């Protein structure tokens, strides 16, 4: 019986992927191009209104007027955000005050708990691990009320601590570290024990170096998640001077489209830089952890 030779033709797949990639990148291109336009040019090319009754016509006309190459090129929007809007830099720092401690401390807690869970010999630990998985799968809206009640009992319901503390003990970092640690051969743990290394030496000098990709992936995912948070900030922070930049951006666009373009580009810089700088670590870390 002859084997049929199948010739794979990836042209169609490539076309679909390129189309989808362009579709997802198009808003970023519009934002980046608009950040270098003058307010007058933005008003001409991006201010058309679309009514419900002539939606198709409105979209067609809007795409005809769009301009992806600034003419003329202007930096006045960036000057307006970084120089004339001091509140922007204050709120950018507010975002860092929430994101940085959550990223660093959740990594520390996840490493310690995952290591303890790995060397723990209790038979019921897998059932306890399933509890973590169930909590991780719960939507954010389901835990906001319990978080608010606990924050009220601690007297921190009107501060960024109400966001930082739940983030430090979130189940996903523990899940990612534990799954990655399971991929490390038991021989590493046994060799460390034979050489007389304690738990701290084993974790930080033997296990942690094996998890560099998973640690980088966890830091990037945690940073991006809390850099873009909105719901928690709206509920727990009622002082606009303490709110993160992600909440403030929704107000900045009121009648100043150029500023929102420039502010969005500045706001996107850190997450995009992290993703490009650690793309390989992100892919490898997620692959080793078994997360689909």
Asked if the model's pLDDT at residue 104 lies above 90, the reply is yes
Question: pLDDT-based confidence at 45, cuts 50/70/90?
Answer: low
Asked if the model's pLDDT at residue 46 lies above 70, the reply is no
Asked if the model's pLDDT at residue 267 lies above 50, the reply is yes
DSSP assignment of 17-86: HHHHHHHHHHHHHHHHHHTTS-HHHHHHHH-----STTHHHHHHHHHHH--SS-SS---HHHHHHHTS-H
Mean pLDDT of the chain: 79
CATH architecture of 85-289: Orthogonal Bundle (1.10)
User: What pLDDT does 10 receive?
Assistant: 76
User: What pLDDT does 119 receive?
Assistant: 83
Contacts of 243 (CB under 8 A, 6+ apart): 91, 94, 233, 237
Asked if the model's pLDDT at residue 85 lies above 80, the reply is no
- Among 97-111, 165-179, 199-213, 251-265, the minimum mean pLDDT is found in 251-265
User: What pLDDT does 14 receive?
Assistant: 85
Question: pLDDT-based confidence at 8, cuts 50/70/90?
Answer: low
User: What pLDDT does 164 receive?
Assistant: 92
- pLDDT tens-digit readout, 189-234: 888 888 888 888 888 888 888 888 888 888 888 998 999 888 888 8
User: What pLDDT does 155 receive?
Assistant: 87
Provide the terminal-to-terminal Cα distance of the chain, rounded to the nearest Å.
Answer: 39
- Among 40-44, 105-109, 125-129, 285-289, the minimum mean pLDDT is found in 285-289
Percent of the chain with pLDDT over 70: 81
- pLDDT tens-digit readout, 21-32: 888 888 888 888
Q: pLDDT higher for 60 or 133? A: 133
Asked if the model's pLDDT at residue 175 lies above 80, the reply is yes
Name residue, tokens 């204050």.
90
Question: Do 258 and 29 contact (CB within 8 A), yes or no?
Answer: no
Question: Do 252 and 263 contact (CB within 8 A), yes or no?
Answer: yes
Domain ranges of the chain: 11-74, 85-289
User: What pLDDT does 61 receive?
Assistant: 53
Distance CA 178, CA 90 (A): 37
Range among 70-84, 120-134, 171-185, 254-268 rated most confident: 171-185
Asked if the model's pLDDT at residue 105 lies above 90, the reply is yes
Range among 226-230, 256-260, 281-285 rated most confident: 226-230
Question: pLDDT-based confidence at 9, cuts 50/70/90?
Answer: low
User: What pLDDT does 99 receive?
Assistant: 93
Distance CA 19, CA 274 (A): 25
Please name which of 188, 190, 147 lies closest in space to residue 166, comparing C-alpha atoms. 147
User: What pLDDT does 31 receive?
Assistant: 81
């Amino acid at each position: 019986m002859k084997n049929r030779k199948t010739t794979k033709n990836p042209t169609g797949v490539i076309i679909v992927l390129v189309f989808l990639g362009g579709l997802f990148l198009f808003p970023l291109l519009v934002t980046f191009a608009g950040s270098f336009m003058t307010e007058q040019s933005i008003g001409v090319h991006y201010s058309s209104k679309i009514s419900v009754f002539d939606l198709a016509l409105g979209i067609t006309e809007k795409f005809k007027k769009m301009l992806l190459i600034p003419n003329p090129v202007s930096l006045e929007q960036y000057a307006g955000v970084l120089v004339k809007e001091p509140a922007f830099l204050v709120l950018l720092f507010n975002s860092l005050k929430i994101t940085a401690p959550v990223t660093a401390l959740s990594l520390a807690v996840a490493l310690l708990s995952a290591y303890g869970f790995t060397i723990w010999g209790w038979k019921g630990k897998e059932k306890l691990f399933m509890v973590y998985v169930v909590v991780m799968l719960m939507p954010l809206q389901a835990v906001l009320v319990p978080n608010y009640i606990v924050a009220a009992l601690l007297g921190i319901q009107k501060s960024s601590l109400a966001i930082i503390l739940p983030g430090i003990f979130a189940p996903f970092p523990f899940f990612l570290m534990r799954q990655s640690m399971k991929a490390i051969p038991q021989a590493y743990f046994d060799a460390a024990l034979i050489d007389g290394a304690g738990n701290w030496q084993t974790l930080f000098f033997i296990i942690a170096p094996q998890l560099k990709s998973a640690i980088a992936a966890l830091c990037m995912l945690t940073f991006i998640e809390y850099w873009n948070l909105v719901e928690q900030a709206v509920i727990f922070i009622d002082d606009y001077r303490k709110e993160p930049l992600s909440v403030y951006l929704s107000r900045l666009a009121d009648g100043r489209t150029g500023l929102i373009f420039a502010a969005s580009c500045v706001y996107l810089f850190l997450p995009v830089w992290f993703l490009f700088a650690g793309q390989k670590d992100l892919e490898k870390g997620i692959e080793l952890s078994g997360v689909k």
